[in-house]
């Protein structure tokens, strides 16, 4: 592996991985809290509901 490629990969791991992990943890905690507290979808939807709506009707978010 070349030094340039190794440097690029190191940068991705050092600077890209921690925010990606933090994002996944926040989404997981959000999902768990909604399920645990049985929060109404009218108050705050679970990330899985948003994701499902996005794939069922992607134009919905662009029209709003």
pLDDT recorded at residue 64: 65
pLDDT higher than 70, residue 12: yes
User: What is the rounded average pLDDT of the residues 59-63?
Assistant: 83
The domain limits of the chain are 19-63
CA distances from 52 to 4, 18, 28, 64 (A): 40, 26, 16, 17
- 58 pLDDT band, cuts 50/70/90, is confident
CA distances from 48 to 13, 15, 16, 25, 34 (A): 27, 27, 24, 14, 10
Task: Give CA–CA dist 54/47, Å, rounded.
Answer: 10
User: What is the rounded average pLDDT of the residues 6-10?
Assistant: 93
Task: Give CA–CA dist 60/46, Å, rounded.
Answer: 17
Q: pLDDT for 17-39, tens place per residue?
A: 999 999 999 999 999 999 999 99
């Amino acid at each position: 592996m070349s030094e340039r490629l190794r440097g690029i990969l190191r940068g991705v791991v050092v600077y890209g991985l921690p925010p990606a992990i933090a994002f996944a943890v926040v989404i997981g905690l959000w999902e768990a809290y909604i399920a645990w507290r049985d929060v109404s979808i009218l108050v705050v939807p679970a990330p899985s509901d948003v994701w499902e709506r996005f794939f069922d009707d992607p134009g919905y978010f662009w029209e709003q």
